[in-house]
Every structure is written in C-alpha cells, then in structure tokens.
Structure 1
C-alpha cells in the first residue's frame, strides 16, 4: 500500500505512515480535519479514566509513602517526555510515541509488581495475569469509548500504529522468543480471548518483532526507571551519594543487578559502567536536601537522560541514515555501554530500595489483601462489581469468563481503593 500524506481523518502530513497504520478496528467518521488520527489517539489516552487512576498506583514506593515519590502517572508522563524527544530525533510521529508512553503502564494493578504477582496466581486457572496483556485488554475492551454496532466495547479504538506501539511484548503467552519454555511464558502482550483484535493490530507486522515506536517507548521506560528511581532514592535518603564511591560498593551494586535482572549480564561491563557514571562532573557527592543539592540532583537526572537519548539517537542514525524512521523501517540501536549504564542504575535502585522492601511485612499484607478480595468477589457473584465488570460477569458463559471479570475489576483498582474494598468486603463477608 502506498504511503499517505493525508488520511481520511486528518489533513496533516503523516510522513512514512500508510493508510493501514491509521485504520481503526471500528471505522469512525471523519471529525476535526485539523487533527491527525494520532493526535486523536493521544487525546483519548490522556483523557481516559485508566490514566487518571495511575496517580494512585505504586511505582516503586507507594503513593502514600511521601509527597515526593513518583506514582505510575508521574512516571508515565516523564516516560512520554523522554520518548517524544527520542522519537522526534528519529522521525517517528511524536503523538504515536507519546500515546504509547502514556499508555504503557495502564494495565498495572494496585501495589505495582507485587500486585501483579498476586493477580497472576489468582488468574492461574485462566492463563494468568500480565500487566502488558492487561494494557491491551484495557485499551481494546475495558476503557469505555467506542462500541461495535452490536454493542460490544472495543475500548479506545486506537489506530493500528498507536496500538502496536504499546505492544512491548507482541505475542501471546508462550508464543514469543524461547517458545513455551522461554521468557514469553512470563512476559507477553495478549490473553487468549483478546486474540481477534491483537491479530488485527499485528496484521502485516513481522512475527514477534516490535515496531520502532514500541522500542522507543520501552527504552524510555527503562531510562525513566533507571534515572528517576535513583533520584527518588537519593532524595528520600534511601541512597547516600557519599557512600557510592567507597571500596566494594560497585561490586555490591553489580551483584544486586545480576541477582534481580539475570546473571547473563556482563559483570565487568556493569562495573565499568558504574565507574563511568560516578566520575561524571554532574554526579553528586552528597545530598542534604538543601536548595543547592536539590538543584544538583535535578541536573544529574537531566544530564543522564540527555546522555542516554543522544547516544541511542546517534547510534540509530549511524545505522539507518537520515530521514524519517517509523514502524518497521528500522530497529533502535542501543550502544552496549549505554545499555550497561542504564541497567546498573536500575540495579542501584534494586540494592537500595527494591530488594530491602521485599522482606517488609507490608508486601505480604498487600498480596494477602488481593487474595482475600478475589475470594470475596468470586463468592459474591456480580453483587459488588462495578457496572462494567458486573456486565462482563453476566455475559460470561463459564467460570473462566467470570473469574476474568473479577481479575479485571481488581486490576482496575488503585492502591487506595484496593485497601478500601478489602476493608469493606472482606470485613462484611467475615460477619455473614
């Protein structure tokens, strides 16, 4: 199909994007001719209830732990800014990348990855739970916006290009790299009952290959995690910059990184990356919370983001040349040194924040709350479900469909509402 400079939905130039890229699962009439289809996609995600709920969902530290900490919402906004900058440098449509970055965490449940683990256990009889697959389900089914003629929800009804850009793991469970025994049994982007729209989204795409915009989103997410989690850790006193250059500390951070992210990483490369970062002129040697220190910490985050984005943009341009790079025209090139620097910063957050918290009583309590809540909701039918999920329960033809409705309901909750639902429903049912 030929390239298009004007879509049926907008009069803006969509360089290097094709007619099929701006198609929607349900055809919609042309509206404002001054807006591109991709601008409409971004607006739909930005105004979604799912995005608002991220403001009360855990990023690394819980939303109620401190006014300074990042939530899933602030993280997503920052990822979108990083992604937009990198995408523009490569010639991607900035709204496609922005949409993917804003949407990438929409499917995450209350309590972050701790909650994701609990829901995966709860959903084991129906194939499990995965935050990325839940994001697709939310965008294409659960978020109210567009209905088919027969009344079935298709979620936000995003364009094919924007929806595909959210697909960090573009395969169903066990059908990606490594097959049934590989990583794709844990990280996947589609549940079985969402296959029809997933297959529509992937029409014409190379099997198991992410589009360039999805790669930009994924890297921006990693940059956000690596830089901003370190910033939070320093600002909240979890990580003391004065101790980071002491003998043996680099080895301890490397070990934490390998334990958390996998032993296949090169330990020597990670230690070299740590040494490079800690001798940068912008690296801070101490932090007291003063105005000067806070400004220096913010400058550190800016410099690190610029360092990573520039290195990746330059390397990708050297490999694929000038001109707009979109969809499947290119793959993101991440220099080995840059990848090691990003990973070791993520490992620093593991050592000082994430690993210590794993043994805190609150994390066991959170999982227990979700297990209790699932039992209460399954046992009470559709009585306590919100209308959208109660309707899904009633439409379900079997126990599997009803359990998925319960899982969808729990996944939609924030940290705050999950605690409130547990207190209300589990306390109520215990008195029956």
Structure 2
C-alpha cells in the first residue's frame, strides 16, 4: 500500500525515511495544511484567540488518533482479544495515522459548513461540492508537489482519507442535470443543499488507483451503498470505510464531542443549567453514571462539577478523563465477514456505552453551540460571502482570478470543468482571504491596487 500514482517519485539515496514518513512531511509542509490556521472550525475567526480553528482541531485529531493506536498496540499484548483476529502488523504506523488525521480536513472551504453549503449550491448540476471529497482531490490532484498528482500520496494515505467511498452521482442527490447560472438568489434553503458525503465523479481515477490491489469482490463490497433517511436530499450513502479511516473518524468524533464541548463551556455557550436540562431529558443518566464509575473510577457528578467549576485546570483535567474514557473503550471488530483484505475487513469501534455518552456530548454541542443563533448568523454571513464571490468570479473570471487559476479555467473543456476551477479556487481560500477579497470587490471604501490578498 506504499505505492504512489507517479512511480518516478523516488526518494534520495540518503533519505532514510519510510514512505509514510514522507507523506507526513508533505502534508505538514503543504499550503493546504497551513491554510487551516485561518479556517473556521465552529466559531468564526476574529471573535477570540482561544477556541479551536481547523488547524488546532486537526492537530488534536492527530493526537487522539495516535492515542487510540497506542492503546490498541499496547493493550493487545495483555488482552489479545482487543484486536480480534487482526494481526497487529496490519495496524497503521504512527506516521501513517498522523498523516491521515492531519489531512482529514484540508478540503474544507472558508466559513465552515456555511461555505460548504454555498459551494454545493453554486456547483449544482456541475458535480457538487463536499469537504471530504475536496480533501481527496487536493491530495490526489491539486496540491503543488506533482503537476498531475497533487501530493502524490501513497495508496494507504489516500485510502485513509477516503471517508465515504461513494461517488457524488451515486448518492442521487437531487440536483439539476445541467450547470445552472449563479443567480442572485443567495437566500436559498440551506438544509436543501447540505452536500452528501462522497467523492467527486471526476476523481474516479484516484479511486481506481486506491482500490487496484483489492480483489473484485472486495472492491464491489467496499463501494456498496445503502438508503438514507427518506427526508434527506441524497438517497444513498456509503456502507464501509477502511481500518485507518475508522481510527481517524473516531478521533474526529471524540475531538468534536469532547474538545468542542470544552470550548462551549469555557465561552459560556453551555451553562450548568442547560447541561442539567439536557441530562434530565436523557434516558441514560444511570447508564452514564455506571459507565464512568466502571471505566475511570470517577463519580459522574464529580466529573460534571469539574467541567463547570470555572477553574480552567479542573475543566482541563475533566476533559482529559473523558478523552481517556473514550479511547480506552475502543477495540477492533469485523465490519463484514465477506471482506478478504484485513485493511477493509476490520475497523476500530467504540463501545456502545462510550458511544452513547459521546452522542450526548455531541447533541449538546450541536444544539447549544453550532445551532446557536449568534453562530448561525455568522455562518450565514460566510455563506453569503462565498456565494457572491463565486457569482462575481463566474461572471468574469479573467477579471477576478489570478493568472495561474485563470489558465486552468481557459484550459477547461466545458462549463462543468470551468465551474470546478472556480470552486477549487474559492474552497482553497482562508476565511481572512475571502473577507479581504470580498471587501476589495464589493465595499466602496475598501481595496487598492496596492493591496496584497
């Protein structure tokens, strides 16, 4: 799984690094990774310098992911059943998992999910947009390391970031068949244009490379789909992902549920009263109390007191205990007996008790932070900025795009490809870059020929 799409990509004779270590270096030194420092995670930039950005979130996902990996490796020595029948050699190396975790969000556009929805709306009929799909495109095509193959990452790295092995068209997302003009109706229904979880159809060559070593039966099963909720715009979703992806996804969920909970409490979005109200509605309180006591030998309400103590060191200690509780409940299981290759046959899975506790945390973060009106208002503003930038650029690309991007636009063979070039350009912007470009174009007293974006 260490092969690269461009086989001429040879390392120096004196380079002692393994291929996964080279991938890790390429991610860290890539422009796409650096841009995460000024991209929204949950709360918009400029509001405070305390909370998490996409960059700090990705670093935390890496740290939690490595913690999961080390727990599985070390515990397997005393408790072999934790790996099931998976040979320990099939676990990813620390460098492989680090690369996948650090890279997992590099495809997300400015302004978080608001920017993602705006781009998906602008790309209706032209292949759509989705952050995870863009991550794969950056690694496999856009990043500036190889002219055609992006970072020319190894097959295992690409497989690891392939979170949803289903093409955009396979989701049957309710899109018009032809590219649509970017009309001024930016007041579209956001819920109707939340993108399906997928890769882009024009990246099928990357998928072909990723799945080439697998047997035909494994390839077919790995890309199997299942129906989604009938109320969703997309009808189908993917069923499976790889071993490495499962570890990264758990680390991502833990970071979202626990670390974003920490941000919400420390910034006053989640109060003790609101927490207690959610807890009163939950049917799992006794379940949570027993699980916390059994797992880390701590009283559940003592842990809650630490979270809401108002003392940062006590809150941090409580967060550490919760992360440990989640990580130490993870084991390896078979996702489908019909898979032959261990890397897709096995996945990491959290215990049901920890999953329910994490779901509880995520529900509070979702309702009290992400869906809070003051957060949604800023997300809406970011959505409008992305939409109007797309509209302006599409109206006269030569006027608004840098030469390198406009050259790609000129070389595009049809309208769909041209829209994709604009989409790639905007999705790569940071929040700050997008705001400055928006002000330069639309705000009368802003902008100068001497401004550098």
1:171 is aligned to 2:202: no
What is the CA deviation profile of residues 20-49 of structure 1, one whole-angstrom value per residue up to 9, with x for unaligned ones?
x00000011232441000000011001111
Aligned to 1:140: 140
Separation in 2, partners of 1:273, 1:229? 20
Which runs of structure 1 show a deviation greater than 6 angstroms over 4 or more consecutive aligned residues?
317-320
Q: Which of residues 242, 246, 265 in structure 2 aligns to 1:211?
A: 242
Structure 2 residues without counterparts, runs of 5 or longer: 74-90, 175-193, 224-239, 293-298, 448-453
Q: Which of residues 313, 333, 348 in structure 2 aligns to 1:332?
A: 348
Q: Which of residues 1, 11, 18 in structure 2 aligns to 1:30?
A: 11
Query: Could you tell me the TM-score, scaled by structure 2's length?
Result: 0.76
Aligned to 2:201: 192
What is the CA deviation profile of residues 220-252 of structure 1, one whole-angstrom value per residue up to 9, with x for unaligned ones?
10000001111001111111236533xx43255
What is the CA deviation profile of residues 388-414 of structure 1, one whole-angstrom value per residue up to 9, with x for unaligned ones?
422221110112111111111110111
Q: Residue 186 of structure 1: CA displacement?
A: 4.1
Separation in 2, partners of 1:235, 1:195? 44
Aligned to 1:399: 415
Q: Which of residues 34, 38, 42 in structure 1 aligns to 2:24?
A: 42
Aligned to 1:114: 114
Query: Could you tell me the TM-score, scaled by structure 1's length?
Result: 0.80
Three-state SS of the structure 2 residue aligned to 1:316 is: strand
Q: Residue 354 of structure 1: CA displacement?
A: 1.2
- Given that 1:80 and 1:220 are in contact with CA atoms closer than 8 Å, whether structure 2 keeps it comes out as yes
Q: Residue 274 of structure 1: CA displacement?
A: 8.2
Separation in 2, partners of 1:301, 1:83? 16
Aligned to 1:150: none
C-alpha distance 216-286 of structure 1, shift in aligned 2 (>3 A): closer
Matched ranges for 1:368-383 at <5 A: 368-383=384-399
- Given that 1:382 and 1:394 are in contact with CA atoms closer than 8 Å, whether structure 2 keeps it comes out as no
- Given that 1:389 and 1:408 are in contact with CA atoms closer than 8 Å, whether structure 2 keeps it comes out as no
Separation in 1, partners of 2:104, 2:285? 27
Three-state SS of the structure 2 residue aligned to 1:124 is: coil
Pairwise CA RMSD of aligned residues?
2.9
Separation in 1, partners of 2:99, 2:342? 15
Greater relative CO, 1 or 2 (CA 8 Å, sep 6+): 2
Separation in 1, partners of 2:151, 2:28? 11
1:283 is aligned to 2:304: yes
Aligned to 1:228: 259
Separation in 2, partners of 1:424, 1:142? 26
Aligned to 1:295: 313
Three-state SS of the structure 2 residue aligned to 1:118 is: helix
Separation in 2, partners of 1:326, 1:358? 46
- Given that 1:164 and 1:211 are in contact with CA atoms closer than 8 Å, whether structure 2 keeps it comes out as yes
Separation in 1, partners of 2:343, 2:333? 15
Q: Residue 364 of structure 1: CA displacement?
A: 2.7
Aligned to 2:62: 80
What is the CA deviation profile of residues 100-127 of structure 1, one whole-angstrom value per residue up to 9, with x for unaligned ones?
1100100101110111111110111202
What is the CA deviation profile of residues 193-219 of structure 1, one whole-angstrom value per residue up to 9, with x for unaligned ones?
111122111224432331100110111
Separation in 2, partners of 1:271, 1:380? 61
1:250 is aligned to 2:297: no
What is the CA deviation profile of residues 239-284 of structure 1, one whole-angstrom value per residue up to 9, with x for unaligned ones?
1236533xx43255x6xxxxxxxxxxxxx45884489668254333
Q: Residue 368 of structure 1: CA displacement?
A: 1.6
Separation in 1, partners of 2:418, 2:285? 46
C-alpha distance 374-216 of structure 1, shift in aligned 2 (>3 A): same
Three-state SS of the structure 2 residue aligned to 1:383 is: helix
Q: Which of residues 152, 161, 169 in structure 2 aligns to 1:157?
A: 152
Separation in 1, partners of 2:431, 2:285? 34
- Given that 1:383 and 1:390 are in contact with CA atoms closer than 8 Å, whether structure 2 keeps it comes out as no
